[in-house]
Amino acid sequence: MRPILMKGHERPLTFLRYNRDGDLLFSCAKDHTPNVWFADNGDRLGTYRGHNGAVWSCDVSRDSTRLITGSADQTAKLWDVQTGRELFTFRFDAPARSVEFAIGDGLAVITTDNFMENVPTAQSEESLLVITGIKGRINRAVWGPLNRTIITAGEDATIRIWDTETGQCLKESDKEQGHQKTITSLSKSADWSHFLTGSLDKSAKLWDTRTLTLIKTYVTERPVNAVDISPLLDHILQEEIGGVKGHFGPINALAFNPDGRSFSSGGEDGYVRLHHFDSDYFNIKI
């Protein structure tokens, strides 16, 4: 598995996201400028210029026409994917950390950091709903099934499921079974039935989306900075099947291509590496 090296950022990577068709890859970094790449050969297609701070996350609409980004410059921006034109700016009183479109792309969840005594929230400008009261930074917020819930995770090591109609907290992860240190990343399965979290406590955990039941814990030797779930092979492995070396320094972002045949990684070294799986990977016997 020989990776393709993609150099378009001048500072460490923070987030990676494929579009639904899997032909485009969007990358965010601390250098203020999100990039878009062809996902098959790693050629850079364009950039999105307008942020004045690190860009922490992004999401792309189902039809690949709109991109949303969240930045340390206290804004979230909506972009035209094809032209790179800035369409709208959501302004906040604190850095915008996590962004994600809802099903239908008519709504987005945006989280802001605990900054200068500002309480972290899940919100938008002229918000339909504002969720407050969480201590510590929210590193990831994602929509649950049918847009009925929002799942949050972050510095306080607790996963919470919120009702999108009332803003009420419906469930919290068990403190004994859950993570013991900051949750760095969260990734949903393709069918939204379960999700995976990674933490500085040197573990990744697989959860049931509806019940918040812990399914499995994966213990590692190092803090987990990024996680993702294969959309192709629907198995829960009991042991590590391989590793990929190459980045210089920590890996901050991971993303599986929706076809399950490749994945991308983004590192502290400023590189995106595109990995296409060898045929042996698809013949693994569990």
Please check whether residue 265 is in contact with residue 272, taking contact to mean a CB–CB distance below 8 angstroms: yes
Cα 115 to Cα 137: distance, rounded to the nearest angstrom: 9
In one letter, which amino acid is 202?
A: K
Neighbours of 163 (CB within 10 A): 15
What are the structural domain ranges in the chain? 4-283
Question: 69 is written with which tokens?
Answer: 């980004």
Class of domain 4-283: mainly beta
C-alpha to C-alpha distances, 154 to 78, 253, 285, nearest whole angstrom: 24, 16, 35
pTM of the full predicted structure?
A: 0.92
pLDDT in tens, the chain (286 residues): 678 899 999 999 999 999 999 999 999 999 999 999 999 999 999 999 999 999 999 999 999 999 999 999 999 999 999 999 999 999 999 999 999 999 999 999 999 997 544 445 554 456 788 888 788 899 999 999 999 999 999 999 999 999 999 999 999 999 999 999 999 999 999 999 999 999 999 999 999 999 999 999 999 999 999 999 999 876 565 555 556 666 677 899 999 999 999 999 999 999 999 999 888 777 776 5
